[in-house]
Chain A
């Protein structure tokens, strides 16, 4: 089982699919990576030699922001938005949609499971 960037162990899938188990590597980057390192994207990840894995690690380290570093980067950006008291920072703080979506209904991804409020009736009353 190959191991790249610490803990990630992509299993018995084609290399370009396996690589996508790393945060920060999607379909495009994954194929790009295979090309840069000179691997056949269709070969199973389990068939990668230690040498291939080492090469992959080097290229990822050099060219891409993945896993912890990426999370820190995103976190820092959000912290910045909060810090400067921008509207977007405010929306992050309140766990509401940031990009202007409606929040009267829906927005459940951000708001989490519905919290029923006692005394509130149907749409008519709003």
Chain B
């Protein structure tokens, strides 16, 4: 279920501050997977933690409204035993 409109999107405050300060270009390391992408984030690169490592996420216009965590997968699926392992598409 969606979040109340009244509250607006959830944006991690510290991350937002960092984005404002960061004059673009440098990737920001973050654990805030639950942070919504807002228009200010366009063109920024984040290193989003997935529990093990940081995945590079370049935010584009289409990603607005999605959470950072959606782009940093937490599971590794290496295929089932036996069958010819079809390489998992993408990361």
Residues of A participating in the B interface, judged by any CB pair closer than 8 Å: 80, 83-88, 90, 93-94, 117-119
Contact = CB atoms under 8 A, between A and B. Distances in A.
Contacts of A117: 80, 82-83
B90 A83 contact: no
Contacts of B70: 86-88
B60 A84 contact: yes
Contacts of B32: none
Contacts of B80: 117
Interface in B33-91: 60, 62-63, 66, 69-71, 73, 80, 82-83, 89-91
Given A85-B90, A85-B91, A86-B66, 8 more contacts: A84-B62, A84-B63, A86-B71, A87-B70, A88-B70, A94-B89, A118-B82, A119-B82
Range of interface residues on B (Cβ < 8 Å): 10 to 19
Interface of B: 60, 62-63, 66, 69-71, 73, 80, 82-83, 89-91
B66 A84 contact: yes
Given A87-B70, A87-B73, A117-B80, A80 B90 contact: no
A87 B91 CA distance: 10
Given A80-B62, A119-B82, A85 B89 contact: no
